Amino acid sequence: MELDVANQSLQEVYLRMVQMITPRPIAWVSTLSIDGIPNLAPFSFFTGIGAKPPTVCFSPANDSQGRPKDTLENIRRTGQFVVNVVTLPLAAAMHRTADDVPPESDEFQLAGLEQAASVKVAPPRVKLAAAAMECTLHSAIQLGTGPGGANLVIGNVVYFHIDDTVADQAAIATIGRVGRRDYTEVNDTFRLQ
């Protein structure tokens, strides 16, 4: 199969990308609105960029009306966010927070999740998350416009939270996204010499 991106719909391009870029780690991003309303949403176009300085990025697409999602608006206005790590016990709650709800909705409440206070930023973190990274905004770049238009958020990590039960492991047993509603647990690793 050969596909020229210029001749494909947004839906087809998205489906091809998520088919090839897999598994994708999940940034479960918590923010606060300017009015102090907590927001929590997952993004699977996410990765670490570097360790000096510790930097992460994720890509929130515009909503179906072409507007920036609440997460992006909150980060632009406050300059802060938390990336919560998703493990299997939190998978269903994470998936629920992907629902499109009004900005005044608290996704922590909707998903039945308890908040924990952050140390260096205002947005709360998911209390039961095995790990979390508190971040300040480095930059937010608009890459596309209209419905599905891509945006890139780059954040500087300013504080780590790691549960003592996983602190000594080589890697936390995270889950990754492999499709629309399909996920995988990272638990079968191998080492090359």
Cβ–Cβ under 8 Å, residues 7 and 141: no
Instruction: Give the pLDDT confidence of 54-106 residue by residue, as tens digits.
Output: 999 999 999 999 999 999 999 999 999 999 999 999 999 999 999 989 889 99
Class of domain 27-185: mainly beta
Instruction: Give the pLDDT confidence of 118-140 residue by residue, as tens digits.
Output: 999 999 999 999 999 999 999 99
Please give the model's pTM, rounded to 2 decimal places.
0.93
Q: Edge-to-edge strands of the sheet including 183-185?
A: 24-25, 175-177, 183-185
Q: Give the DSSP H or E segment for 64.
A: none
Identify each DSSP E strand in 85-179 by its residue range.
115-116, 125-126, 131-142, 151-162, 175-177
For the chain, the structural domain boundaries read: 27-185
